[in-house]
Amino acid sequence: MANDVRVFLRSGASFFRPRAMEPINVNRNDLIGVELEHILASESFKGSKRCQAFLKYVVERATSGYADQLKERTLGIELFGRDPAYDTGEDAIVRVKANEVRKRLAQYSMGAAPERRVRIELPPGAYVPQFDWYQEPTREKKSKKYVSIKWLAVVSSLLLSIAGIVYSIGLPRNPLELFWEPLIAGTTAPIVCLGHPDVYIPIDGEPPSNYVASYPAQQLKPVAYVENKLNTHPAVELIRDGYVGIGDSNAGFLVGRALQSLGKGSQARLGDDVSFSDLKKSPAVLVGGFSNRWTMSMTSGLRFSFAEQDQKRVIVDHNQPGKVWSVPSLSKTGHATEDYALVSRLLVSRTGQVLISIAGISGYGSQAAGEFVTDSLSLKKLASSAPKNWENMNMQVVLRTKVVGETPTPAEVVATYYWR
């Protein structure tokens, strides 16, 4: 075992506040292995395969003499399949998982057998495990000391747990993790549900340009509803599930990448491929507004929601009658100079699962909203004005973005609402 693996001997009477510590013969890997098996099989760890794999890896590497290799980048590559050149500043998966392992170790210590010979810890800010050894009392003294040792173990475990909580509270956490944590806390991979707009394709080739100018998309009719092909209306075929908007697609990609950086996989699906039963089984991210039937359904009863007023698509504030946000310059071809978007996060939705909706009035807004909820700086700015403990609250955010050419600019917050 390498010298930098911290191994100490503590007498039973000195468990809580040892008066003396001395290095012991480090040939005790078997006892460490037994304790590791107990930890991995405990209630605190058996529900998280990633935490099990993390702890098993660092303990086995340390006891094999490779503690000096337990660095953040190495763990990211070996445990989470990251590219060797990945940016550890942007991808916090190792730090997030290590913090979770520390919390689970503290929980395990609460109920661990007081007569255990070794305690395995992961010190804050480090990835090299620490092994604290307890000297077994002599046979004639064991019975007298058992009760006091037991209670000292309980007290120490409680203090360790409290210290872990204080440590986690004391350090500022990445707002990106705080926003997405409710969605990724479970074991089920979330569904990223993409909307798909209705697309009309002329059945007799492209219509003349004057048809495009005279008949905006919302006035076109599927060929089944065109009684006379000789009239002035172009005959078109309606395609409902063959296309995805560029803005929705970009937002879905950003969400998937963010979830991956937080150590969570996801499954991308189109709206019509997702049933209510699917949403009851898995947390979900709904991307797209009017193009996504699930967004329209799941957010319709919230304070902010999408609606159509005077043949315009808008976001309404149900708490302020008459308050709406609309796209003032949406052209017949779908181009706009600005757009509005709505982000909703429901910790418990009608499905019983965490639900996040990311949607714009048009595709520009969806893309801008996707960029907003996957950008640490944008979420940090949002958190600075949010109520205390916002990460554990339901929330809605109305965003505004300007469009330069075909690219939405970073979104600005125009309204927020938090509730429990």
Confidence of residue 132 (pLDDT cuts 50, 70, 90): confident
Residue pLDDT, tens place only, 280-309: 999 999 999 888 989 999 999 899 999 988
Give the number of other Cβ atoms within 10 Å of residue 182's Cβ: 20
Is the model more confident about 322 or about 330? Answer: 322
Distances in Å between the Cα of 374 and the Cα atoms of 2, 296, 299, 356, 385 are: 41, 22, 21, 13, 18
Confidence of residue 160 (pLDDT cuts 50, 70, 90): low
> What sections of 171-240 are H helices per DSSP?
175-184, 209-214
Q: Compute the distance between CA of residue 371 and CA of residue 187 in angstroms, rounded to an integer.
A: 25
Q: Taking Cα atoms as reference points, which of 371, 352, 348, 350 lies closest to residue 360?
A: 371
Q: Is the overall model pTM greater than 0.85, yes or no? A: no
Query: Residue 26: its pLDDT value, please?
Result: 45
The average confidence (pLDDT) of the chain is: 78
The overall longest dimension of the chain from CA atoms, in Å, is: 107
Query: Residue 368: its pLDDT value, please?
Result: 93
Contacts of residue 304, defined as CB under 8 A and 6 or more positions apart, other chains included, come to 315, 316, 317, 318, 342, 344, 396, 398, 415, 417
Contacts of residue 331, defined as CB under 8 A and 6 or more positions apart, other chains included, come to none
Beta bridge partners of 360: 341
Q: Compute the distance between CA of residue 102 and CA of residue 122 in angstroms, rounded to an integer.
A: 6
Confidence of residue 155 (pLDDT cuts 50, 70, 90): low
Residue pLDDT, tens place only, 37-52: 989 998 888 888 889 9
What's the whole-number mean pLDDT along residues 96-109? Answer: 83
CB 336 within 8 A of CB 403: yes
Is the model more confident about 26 or about 4? Answer: 26
Is the model more confident about 267 or about 219? Answer: 267
- pLDDT of residue 395 exceeding 60: yes
Burial 83-102 (b: 16+ CB within 10 A, else e): eeebeeeebbbbbbbbbbbb
Confidence of residue 204 (pLDDT cuts 50, 70, 90): low
Query: Residue 23: its pLDDT value, please?
Result: 42
Burial 400-411 (b: 16+ CB within 10 A, else e): bbbbeeeebeeb
Residue pLDDT, tens place only, 331-350: 666 678 899 999 999 998 88
- pLDDT of residue 194 exceeding 80: yes
Confidence of residue 213 (pLDDT cuts 50, 70, 90): very low
76: enclosing H helix or E strand: helix 72-80
- pLDDT of residue 165 exceeding 80: no
Q: Compute the distance between CA of residue 191 and CA of residue 189 in angstroms, rounded to an integer.
A: 7
